[in-house]
Amino acid sequence: MKTANKPISTRTPAAINRRQFLRTAGQTATVLATASTAVPSILSAPAPSRTIGVGCIGIGTRGGDLLNAVALTPGVKVVAVCDVYGPHRQKGVERSRNPDVKAYVDYRELLADANVDAVIIATPDHWHCQMVLDAVKAGKDIYCEKGFSRTLAEARFMRDALKQSWVVFQLGHQARQDTCALQAKELIARGVLGPITLVRTGRFKSTEPHQPNWRWYGYYNQWKRPDPEQVRREVDWNLWLGPAPQIPWNERHFWHWRCYYAYGTGYAGDLLSHEMDFVQYLLGHGIPDTCICAGQIALLRDDREVPDTWVATYQFEKLGRTVTFEGSMNTTDRQPVTVCGREATLRFDAIAHDVSTFEIIPAAHARNAGLPKGYTRGQTPAQPNHIVDWLNCIRTRGTPKCSTDEAFIETATFLMSLKAQQEQRMVRWDAAREEIV
């Protein structure tokens, strides 16, 4: 599909430096005041029959997958796409299934598009806060990829703006869509496992030495390096950096941003967050009381800043509960999500967003009468996928499964592990001050 007839914006704003970003954060009170009056345009039409116009911001690895999903959903039209990299923008146009889709370089022009009712934000994490605040101000419903933010201060700004608005918000933790997870959640709530004292989770992956994790080019299985000079010409580098520190063009930071702390939080926000959010969905216990964490670069010794090995232990003191996460990019081990109670253990078949079934293993002393053996297919109604859940809530003005409050819990939880690892000490959650101390 050609794009010559598409109104692609080429306006590039002045580079935004860290100081300017902090000034923007300081203006959050103004955003909050505006947010309460920024009613999404979809409210002005009959909800059941209205076609939802979606704008997709960020069409890279995960963003391309999300665009595919929303473009195939009935009652929805991808009306706009935005990316600072030309080939990704072109990919968005081609996958939109809309010959009239508009393509933008600057996301603020997409937010000003009256045909856009809702946005999907799938950019590097360092842009999430500003984009969410701007989308709230523009009155657009929001689906944002995890991790929610890079810092706790950003998470508070985002949460407060969202909660004082009419915006429907969903954070991208798709494990909450699984039917077997809902059934497990209901069984746990009934107390069939007895008091739960331990939960185990983990993320492991090993790749060939010449294909190290997080070093792909545009998608998880693409290792062929595009021509660096051609990439440089097709990226609006200042706009890609945005609130991050201003540095000269850096190809490795552009493609492999997960490896550097200026743009994300490494293992904590990328992988641990998936598992801990799933545990939160199952148990609803909120932010942990304490965390200890160790991490190191064990084998992937390139110029990355973030560890390739990550082990965190969380304590919920009043519940007498411990949750562990083990992760390594250098092993083929596996740790399916396992919830351990005094009377029985519930073990899923996979990591959080791959679960499809579970088994229940009684303790030797437990009375097995009436204890289910595991997942019973057909017993729990099928659940909408994560995107459809969000779209359904846009129509009903309901609350999605991974809502604003859940997003804040996710962020505080994974940032506790980051702070504990970086400062090499136990950290504690101060609920009154909403701070990690």
Q: What are phi and psi of 383, to 5 degrees?
A: -105, 145
296 Cβ contact partners less than 8 Å away, ≥ 6 residues apart: 307, 308, 309
Q: Using one digit for the tens of pLDDT, what is the confidence trace for 23-68?
A: 444 444 444 444 444 555 544 433 556 899 999 999 999 999 999 9
Average pLDDT of span 238-242? 98
Average pLDDT of span 347-376? 90
Domains of the chain by start residue, with CATH: 176-210+264-390+414-436 (3.30.360.10)
Q: Residue 290 region, left (φ>0) first, then alpha (ψ -120 to 50), else beta?
A: beta
Q: Which amino acid is at 280?
A: Q
Give me the pLDDT at residue 39, please.
Answer: 54
Please report, rounded to a whole number, the percentage of residues in the chain having pLDDT higher than 90.
Answer: 86
DSSP string computed for 279-342: HHHHH---S-SEEEEEEE-SS--SS--S-SEEEEEEEETTTTEEEEEEEESB-------EEEES
Two structure tokens written together for 180 = 């077997």
Rounded mean pLDDT of the chain?
A: 90
Q: Is the pLDDT of residue 72 over 60?
A: yes
The SS3 assignment for 140 reads coil
In degrees to the nearest 10, what's the CA dihedral of 115, 120, 126, 127?
A: 0
45 Cβ contact partners less than 8 Å away, ≥ 6 residues apart: none
User: How far is the C-alpha of 199 from the C-alpha of 355, rounded, in Å?
Assistant: 15
Q: Using one digit for the tens of pLDDT, what is the confidence trace for 108-166?
A: 999 999 999 999 999 999 999 999 999 999 999 999 999 999 999 999 999 999 999 99
Please report, rounded to a whole number, the percentage of residues in the chain having pLDDT higher than 70.
Answer: 88
Q: Is the pLDDT of residue 171 over 50?
A: yes
Two structure tokens written together for 14 = 């002045």
- Yes or no: say if 193 and 344 are a contact pair by the CB < 8 Å rule: yes
Task: Identify the helix (H) or strand (E) that includes residue 23.
Answer: helix 18-26
Peptide bond into 172 cis (omega under 30): no
Distances in Å between the Cα of 277 and the Cα atoms of 108, 251, 350, 408 are 30, 32, 15, 10
The number of beta carbons lying within 10 Å of the beta carbon of residue 402 is 29
